[in-house]
Amino acid sequence: MFKAHADVTDDPPSSSPTTPLYICTQPDFSLHRPSHHRLIDLSPPAPLDDMVAGCCNLELTFGVSVHRMWKAAACEDHVMYPKIVPEYFASVELIGDSEAGSTKIFRFTPAAKPLSFVKDHVEVLDHASHTLRYKTIEGGYVGLTLKSITFEYRYEALSDDACAVKIKMEYDTLDDKPVGGEEVEKMKEGTARLLKAVEGYLLANPGACA
């Protein structure tokens, strides 16, 4: 069993980076000149609180038992990620006991730019159904392109030594533009890389999270 540790004592930044990846521009006042008349389009700008809700899904399979993957990637991710992916995770702070209601603050290395940290609140950690649900409340892409994002992971046994993880990401954008396909793929790829790193570590260390 890994023991959670808190390498970070400073409070996270009060707000996420302010430079957006997408800029919502106001509609241009276009000039039309049919015949001898000039018509001016005075349509009001889009409301600042316009946003687009989106959802994407990802399913992955692993050659590790559901018990070990659940324990390592869902219950002890705050221990595992800085340990096995130190090139991206500088440190972590756990507020709580890692169960539902806890908050985890992951601080990234410069390799993760433009992201510097992410603060996740665990809403559901159901050991019976192997379901994890958490919401990013600060950092990550929240404040850049997203207003909010929630992740749900469902771990399912395929055999004694294999499992599947079904991931659902629900988000609201900051403006009235949907997240581009490239950005969605980046989110999926990042999630897949982390879980594959966990799988690799567990395969190389059969006694870990047994």
Q: Quick: pLDDT tens for 95-122.
A: 999 999 999 999 999 999 989 999 999 9
Residues with Cβ within 8 Å of 210's Cβ and at least 6 positions away in sequence, in order, are 68
Question: 89 falls in which pLDDT band (50, 70, 90)?
Answer: very high
The average confidence (pLDDT) of the chain is 81
Look at residue 20 and tell me whether its pLDDT is greater than 60. Answer: no
Choose which CATH entry (3.20.20.150, 4.10.640.10, 3.30.300.30, 3.30.530.20) describes domain 50-204: 3.30.530.20
Q: What is the mean pLDDT of residues 185-201?
A: 94
What's the burial of 122, exposed, middle or buried (CB within 10 Å: 0-12/13-18/19+)?
buried
DSSP 51: -
Cβ 143 vs Cβ 114: under 8 Å: no
Q: What is the mean pLDDT of residues 56-84?
A: 97
Token pair for 40 = 């001016």
Range with lowest mean pLDDT among 59-73, 146-160, 176-190? 176-190
User: What is the C-alpha separation between 63 and 70, in angstroms, rounded?
Assistant: 13
Main-chain dihedrals φ then ψ at residue 176, nearest 5 degrees: -90, 25
Main-chain dihedrals φ then ψ at residue 194, nearest 5 degrees: -65, -45
Look at residue 14 and tell me whether its pLDDT is greater than 50. Answer: no
Question: 38 falls in which pLDDT band (50, 70, 90)?
Answer: very low
Q: Which amino acid does the sequence have at 103?
A: T
Cross-strand pairs, 55: 170
User: What is the C-alpha separation between 1 and 72, in angstroms, rounded?
Assistant: 9
